[in-house]
Amino acid sequence: MQRLEFEASLHDAVSPTPRESAVAKFDYWHGFIRDWLLNQGVPADRADAVARVHISGIYGLQYDFVVNRDRPAAEAALLLLMDYFFDGLDRALDQQQ
């Protein structure tokens, strides 16, 4: 299923009549994470960039899993990504104090 979603996203990027479902999904999750970060007290410019890095990392790990079919490695990388995300959140909030 992830492979089909990825292929559809790539097709949309070059299609003269894209469905833009992948864009809508990315925008939704980017906005969701950005808004959550804003509610945690992260400045707007930082929250936008952090949200984009985080959601892009998750998409990249999905691609990694589809291509390499190594679930334990993808899961380990996801846990590391989450650690980086929350460590970065802590640093951003500490800088404000």
Q: How far is CA 24 from CA 16, 34, 60, in A?
A: 17, 15, 17
pLDDT for the residue 95 = 79
pLDDT for the residue 29 = 94
Between 44-68 and 71-96, two packed helices, what is the crossing angle to 10 degrees?
Answer: 170
Which residues of the chain are modeled with pLDDT < 50? none
pLDDT for the residue 50 = 92
pLDDT for the residue 84 = 92
